[in-house]
Structure 1
Amino acid sequence: MTTFFVIVLVVLMGLVVYSLVRGIVAFLKSTKMDLEREDTGGATEMQLMQNKMMFARIKYQALAVVVVAVLLAISS
């Protein structure tokens, strides 16, 4: 059972890194696009992607914390 939770934890950590990198890339692209565009108001596609990826990162981190808490409860 512990092995299962460790595998789940490693997968969640990978998803955290993946969503973090995608969010940073979207941030860099949105910054470049914001400098080049006229002010039309509203969020751009890259800004929406950045928000989506950062929310996914928080979600995966929360799930990873829950898995660690379960692992600690099992090991006690």
Structure 2
Amino acid sequence: MNYILIPALIILCIMVVVSLVRGVVAFLKTTKIDLESGEGETVTDMQLMQNKAMFARIKYQAAAIGVVVVILLLAQ
């Protein structure tokens, strides 16, 4: 069973990092657009992308924690 759970945990950790980077990039683009234009109205698309990336990160983290719990329960 660990042969399945450990690769799943590694994949979930990679997905957490990827979604975190995507969210930070969206945040930086939002800040850059806001500073250049002086208006906050043009950044709504980037803010939505940032929110989606951060929500995805939370889902992947929760799934990774679930996998760790299962690994710990099976180890006992």
Greater CA deviation, 54-63 or 39-48? 39-48
Alpha-carbon RMSD across the aligned residues, in angstroms, is 1.5
What 5-or-longer segments of structure 1 have no aligned partner? none
* SS of match in other structure, 1:44: helix
- Cα deviation, residue 44, structure 1: 1.4
Kindly indicate whether residue 57 of structure 2 is the aligned counterpart of residue 57 of structure 1: yes
* SS of match in other structure, 2:39: coil
8 Å CA contact 2:9, 2:64 repeated in 1:
yes
* SS of match in other structure, 1:19: helix
What 5-or-longer segments of structure 2 have no aligned partner? none
Partners of 1:26 and 1:64 in 2: CA distance: 24
Partners of 2:58 and 2:31 in 1: CA distance: 22
Greater CA deviation, 59-68 or 40-49? 40-49
Partners of 1:57 and 1:26 in 2: CA distance: 14
Q: Counterpart in 2 of 1:72?
A: 72
* SS of match in other structure, 1:39: coil
Give 1:50's aligned amino acid. Answer: Q
Give 2:20's aligned amino acid. Answer: L
TM-score (norm 2): 0.91
Q: Counterpart in 2 of 1:48?
A: 48
Give 1:19's aligned amino acid. Answer: S
Partners of 2:40 and 2:20 in 1: CA distance: 28
Q: Choose between structure 1 and 2: higher helix proportion.
A: 2
